[in-house]
Amino acid sequence: MKRLQTLLCPLLAAAGLALASGCATVDLVTGQDVQNMYTLDEEIQLGRSFYGEIVKELKKEKAPIDQDPVRVALVREVTDHVVAVAHATNLDYKATFVGDPDFVNAFALPGGNILIFEGLWNPKEGLVETVDELAAVVAHEIAHVNCRHSTEAMTREMLPNLLLAGAAIWAEIEEEDDAQLILAGAMLAYNGLIVTKYSRVDELEADRVGMMYMAQAGYDPAAAPRVWERLAGATDSQLEKTLSIFATHPRDYLRAKELRKHLPEAQALYEAAPVKRDGSKKLADLPPLQNAKPAAQKTKKKDSGS
Ligand SMILES: [Zn+2]
């Protein structure tokens, strides 16, 4: 254990130094100091390269990208309205529609790209039914982007990665098998206690900030807790097909409850919004999906992020 301490101290000091120097920045949404080792420009570059990779994968699976004009126009319109009231105006915002009815999902990449899948409003297993509810999901994703949750999480994960690398090197030099075990335990504790908890906090923040955005953009914010209440009551088969957007304990009602707590504030913003949108429109009334993915080529996909 003494050896472990001699190893950990300099490593922790190095990681702490790396985190403290050069990556302190001001949160765009809260105005508070946060740690982020990426600049906004780097974040945009990172998001572009992730987006390129994801589109390549989707094309390999013959998923139709931006091919249904009505739905593409709808997700872009909702995104534009939400982005117009968001905190960061200089990001590379872009909404992409993927016509895959089997994937109940939406997610944001760093820097402003969001992806929305047809399965989100699939009448059998989807979780949103109206334009207002779609706006709740889009606004949640745009909130993640503005809060810079992806790169903040990557910054947080730098410390355990450094520790793991150090442990591997040390174990090799000392040829001590238990060194890796001890460090593996420490890593698990770190990830369980800090990273996961923060991710949950990030989700709650994106829920709240997103509800304020949708209200300011003229969508009825009461739709937001409704979506999360529907999720809490989702069936096993629905949950199988979901859901990075709904990550972390999807079945509990805490998120909907938290949203209800902040609803009066959102409603005041909605009342003050210069334009009210016709958000009660049912998504089931959209014309049939064009260029749907052929049934024979459908493959099951796993989710890929928040
Ligand atoms: Zn989320």
pLDDT digits (tens, 9 = 90+) for 2-32: 555 555 555 555 555 555 555 788 888 898 8
Per residue in 69-83, pLDDT (tens digit) is 999 999 999 999 999
Phi, psi values for residue 273, rounded to 5°: -65, 135
Distance 150 CA to ligand 1 centre (A): 10
More confident residue, 263 or 246: 263
- pLDDT score at 122: 85
Which run of H or E residues covers position 97?
strand 94-98
CA 237/CA 250 separation, integer angstroms: 13
Q: Are 64 and 115 in contact (CB under 8 A)?
A: no
Q: What is the average pLDDT score of the chain?
A: 80
Q: Are 131 and 238 in contact (CB under 8 A)?
A: no
Distance 229 CA to ligand 1 centre (A): 15
- pLDDT score at 297: 46
More confident residue, 80 or 181: 80
- pLDDT score at 281: 96
- pLDDT score at 284: 92
- pLDDT score at 158: 73
Distance 132 CA to ligand 1 centre (A): 17
Write the CB contacts of 255 (distance below 8 Å, at least 6 apart in sequence): 203, 204, 207, 228, 232
Single-letter code of the amino acid located at 50: F
Distance 232 CA to ligand 1 centre (A): 15
- pLDDT score at 304: 39
The answer to whether the predicted template modeling score (pTM) of the entire model surpasses 0.75 is yes
Per residue in 143-158, pLDDT (tens digit) is 999 999 988 888 877 7
∠ CA 239-243-247 to the nearest 5 degrees?
A: 105
Of 52-61, 155-164, 204-213, where does the model show the most confidence?
Answer: 204-213
Distance 305 CA to ligand 1 centre (A): 9
Domain ranges of the chain: 9-284
Confidence check: pLDDT of 293 > 50 = yes
Distance 246 CA to ligand 1 centre (A): 6
Contacts 24+ apart (CB under 8 A), 157-160: 157/195, 158/15, 158/18, 158/19, 158/37, 159/15, 159/19, 159/190, 160/187, 160/190, 160/191, 160/195
Confidence band, pLDDT 50/70/90 cuts, at residue 193: very low
CA 36/CA 17 separation, integer angstroms: 13
Distance 2 CA to ligand 1 centre (A): 41
Please give the average per-residue pLDDT across 179-197, as a whole number. 52
Per residue in 209-252, pLDDT (tens digit) is 999 999 999 999 999 999 988 887 777 766 666 554 554 445 56
